[in-house]
Amino acid sequence: MGSDANIERVLWTEEEISGRVAELASQISDDFRGSPVPVVVVGVATGAFLFIADIVRKITLPVAVDFIRAESYGSGTESSGVPRISSDLKIDIGGKHVILVEDIVDTGNTLSSLISHLETKGASSVSVCTLLDKPARRQVHFKLVGEGKFYRGFECPDYFVVGYGMDYDELYRNLPYVGVLRPEVYK
């Protein structure tokens, strides 16, 4: 499998990601099957665009799909504190089960503001489905809403990673795998 010259190491291949996405989708389908309350899957733009596209196609339930955008990163590799919601939902989530789909949870700042925002909009529960989780870097302990559940694809070591939706300075999102970016690229 060929990888980009700026990728130091591939952490998860396209096949590994696709296998894990199928498992998460089946877990979500089991957990929400028969829910009398509508389910809305919300992708955090732009990083989650491939993950949400793949996972919703494997969820075997009626779900609505929407996007939200939060800005925290500039063009660097370190989070810049409390993010701002720069593009909000189109769907009314009042009284519904929301599953927030993220590319990666790092400090937890983005997730905790998004969860509070969705709670304010009256979601009956907020679950989180993140492809990657970097628990070593957590600063904020987010709290799910209602009966919300936490799903994660893989635990990510403390490297700056790109691919499968994740960028550095808006590039590398289209790589089909997740890899570690050579530090020379951003230093």
Give the contact letters, 17-46, x = binds to ligand 5GP (CB under 6 A), - = no: ------------------------------
Looking at the Cβ atoms of 54 and 106, the one nearer to ligand 5GP is 106
Is there binding between residue 125 and ligand 5GP (CB under 6 A)? no
Placement of tokens 């939200």 in the chain: 68
Distance of CA 136 to the CA centre of its chain: 17
Peptide bond before residue 46 is cis, with ω within 30 degrees of 0: yes
Residue 133 falls in the annotated catalytic set = no
**Which residue's CB is nearer to Mg ion, number 35 or number 77?**
77
Q: With contact defined as beta carbons under 8 Å apart, do 83 and 71 qualify?
A: yes
Neighbours of 32 (CB within 10 A): 20
- Residue 114 as a binder of ligand 5GP (CB under 6 A): the answer is no
- 111 three-state secondary structure: helix
By CB under 5 A, the residues from 24 to 63 that bind Mg ion are 44, 47
Does the protein bind ligand 5GP through residue 102 (CB under 6 A)?
A: yes
Give the number of other CB atoms < 10 A from CB of residue 123.
24
Q: What are phi and psi of 54, to 5 degrees?
A: -75, -45
Instruction: Single out the catalytic residue among 106, 133, 158, 167.
Output: 106
Count of chain residues binding ligand 5GP (CB under 6 A): 20
Residue numbers at the binding site for ligand 5GP (CB under 6 A):
47, 72-73, 79, 102-111, 160-162, 166-168
Active site amino acids: 106
